[in-house]
Amino acid sequence: MPSLPKRTPITISDVSVDDDVLSLKRKISAKNHLSVDRLSIRLEPRGKNVADEKLVKDLNLSAKNAQLYVRDLGPQIAWKTVFLLEYAGPLFVYPIFYLRPSFIYGSA
């Protein structure tokens, strides 16, 4: 799986002040072949994530050589998958206890 290089600057050209953070993520994603959902853009190395809807002009960046911090969040799964895994477990485990207790407790 690809990941972002550590401490390596990424140069993005053709950035307009009217672009939003999501469009920046798409440009970074095109360069690094990562999903947009895996990327987090921050103004400081340990700062909070910048919302995707924010515009570049609202970030108060310098006109030239503005520096943003990009973090790879790793593979992401959907909440539907989490829900299905959470509630499917008991549906499979309970019948084992009920129908075949000897598997769990041993022979009586």
**pLDDT per residue over 8-60, tens digit each?**
677 777 888 888 999 999 998 998 888 999 999 998 888 899 999 999 888 88
- The distance of Cα 48 from the centroid of its chain, to the nearest Å, equals 14
| pLDDT band per the 50, 70, 90 thresholds, residue 108 | low
Cα 3 from Cα 63, distance rounded (Å): 28
Stretch 58-76: mean pLDDT, rounded? 83
Instruction: List Cβ<8 Å contacts ≥24 apart for 9-15.
Output: 10/70, 15/56
pLDDT at 33: 87
**pLDDT per residue over 78-106, tens digit each?**
999 999 999 998 998 899 888 988 888 88
Q: Where are the domains of the chain?
A: 21-75, 77-108
3: nearest Cα among 42, 29, 41? 29
Q: Which fold has domain 21-75?
A: Ubiquitin-like (UB roll) (3.10.20)
Q: Is the pTM of this model over 0.85?
A: no
